[in-house]
Amino acid sequence: MNTIALIILLAIIFDFILNGIADYLNLKMLCNELPAAFHGVYDPDRYRKSQQYLKINTRFGWVTGTFNVIVILIFWFGRGFPLLDEWVRSFNYGPIITGLIYMGILILVKSLLSLPFSIYATFVIEERFGFNQTTWSTFLLDMIKGVSLAILLGTPLLAGVLAFFEYAGSNAWWYCWIAVTVYMLGVQFIAPTWIMPLFNKFTPLEDGELKSAILSYAESINFPIANVYVMDGSRRSRKSNAFFTGFGRHRRIVLYDTLIKQHTVGELLAVLAHEMGHYKKKHILQSMVLGILQMGMMLYLLSIFISYQGLFDAFYMPQKSVYAGLIFFGMLYSPLGFFIGIFMQMLSRRNETEADRFSVETTRDPNSMAEALKKLSVHNLSNLLPHPLYVFLNYSHPPVLKRIREIQG
């Protein structure tokens, strides 16, 4: 086993063990005492249910995680990568087509293997806790649409990346960087109008108290919005949310229908003010810039490693190729990706606190924000007392009690 193989193997094991420990600690934190802030909001039955939900999801995560690690190790050490390569090369296509077939097969197999888990999560776990609203036909249609979209959008991108690294020599990484960035921005630009409506229905919010409250608030903070949309989130789940998409004049605020049903106008306004805070405080721009920088760094490192013999030896590949190099590099990158991920989560938690503060300062209504957060946690059966290590590794938002404390502080 060479150094590269050892690094990747250790990274897989380390990740598995660390997540296991975090899960274990997280479950040990469960206690029957309801935090004081939630008295009167969580009834004891529902609180118990939220703990059950956490336990079941954690156990399910263990099963999925263990399965994934076993599959990848069997495929790797069973010499699956070179076997597949030999077969795909026998079709005698050029390097780009061969690469697309090779990667396509791996992605397809990976998706098929995760399908039973996704069915179980939706139709057994979410169902049991009363969240699931997805019918089998919605589930199937989602899958068909998702796969078609992945093929339609992913193939040109992948073909482009393969072609740059195949033919553009040492310039490949930054050509690629520019092309991928433009492509991603383009997709994000068309997403609200072309892609998202494939999966959900967006209807403009009806005139009324809520809409005029939102528009006049937006004006008060000098944040022009053309329209507010309601999304039929209830088509898939009873869980609720709100978000912004697109930029410029395509920017839209989206409220889940499930959210509107549960909250007062004041609470909805507080939630939207939080979302607008992300824009006003330039969090959206920040994460976009960081994403682009990370992409550049990744492509640069890729350009160094893609011709490195050791990377291919690690996976028993007799022949070098751009496509296999891309996959292997992805695995080699994961330790670095792990630390970057943790940093991004920390940044995100900080931004969430900042957006909460923005909401409270501009609406001058800390109670509505706090109430909204409480209701959301109860409704979505959130874990009120996650372990700090678990938060550090996985949370993009601070735990709800911390948010409430900051808001009311």
Closest CA relative to residue 399, chosen from 97, 54, 121? 54
Q: Identify the bridge partners of residue 229 per DSSP, sorted by sequence position.
A: 204, 254
CB of 353 to Zn ion, least distance (A): 9
Per the document, the length of the chain is: 409
Q: How far is the CB of 351 from Zn ion (least distance, A)?
A: 7
Say which DSSP state 245 is in.
E
CB atoms within 10 A of CB 379: 18
**Whole-angstrom distance between the N-terminal and C-terminal Cα of the chain?**
55
Place of tokens 């935090």: 35
Q: How far is the CB of 87 from Zn ion (least distance, A)?
A: 47
Q: Cβ closer to Zn ion: 242 or 332?
A: 242
Residue 357 CB, nearest approach to Zn ion (Å): 11
Q: Give Cα 242 distance to the centre of its chain.
A: 15
In the complex, least distance from residue 352 CB atom to Zn ion, rounded to whole angstroms: 5
CB of 274 to Zn ion, least distance (A): 5
Closest contact distance (angstroms) between CB of 88 and Zn ion is: 43
| 344-363 binders of Zn ion (CB under 5 A) | 352, 355
Q: Across-strand partners of 195?
A: none
Contacts with Zn ion by CB under 5 A: the residue count is 2
Query: Based on the number of CB atoms within 10 Å of its own CB, is 246 exposed (0-12), middle (13-18) or buried (19 or more)?
Result: middle
Considering only CA atoms, which of 166, 99, 102, 150 is closest in space to residue 302?
166
Residue type at 129? F
Nearer to Zn ion by Cβ, of 372 and 381: the residue is 372
Per-position x/- string for 199-218, each x denoting binding to Zn ion as judged by CB under 5 A, each - no binding: --------------------
Give the residue among 66, 63, 49, 57 at the shortest CA–CA distance from 27.
Answer: 57
Choose between 5 and 231: whose C-beta lies nearer to Zn ion.
231
State the minimum distance, in angstroms, from the CB of residue 175 to Zn ion.
35
Nearer to Zn ion, 131 or 279 (CB): 279
C-beta of 23 vs 352, nearer to Zn ion = 352
- CA 1/CA 395 separation, integer angstroms: 35
The minimum distance between CB 248 and Zn ion, in angstroms, equals 21
The answer to whether 340 and 105 are in contact (CB under 8 A) is: no
Using CB under 5 A, which residues numbered 309 to 338 contact Zn ion? none
Name the DSSP letter for residue 231: E
Shortest spacing between CB 271 and Zn ion, in angstroms: 9
The answer to whether the beta carbons of residues 386 and 399 sit under 8 Å apart is: yes
- Complex with Zn ion: residue 23 or 267, whichever CB lies closer: 267
Give the separation between CA 57 and CA 54, rounded to whole angstroms.
5
Of 317 and 373, CB closest to Zn ion:
373
Phi, psi of 242 (to 5 degrees): -150, 150
When the beta carbons of 299 and 355 are compared against Zn ion, the nearer one is 355
| Helices and strands, counts by H and E, the chain | 16, 4
Measured from the CB atom, the residue of 352 and 371 that comes closer to Zn ion is: 352
Quickly tell me which residue has 């990740």 as its tokens.
15
Closest CB to Zn ion among 271 and 393? 271
Q: Which residues bind Zn ion (CB under 5 A)?
A: 352, 355
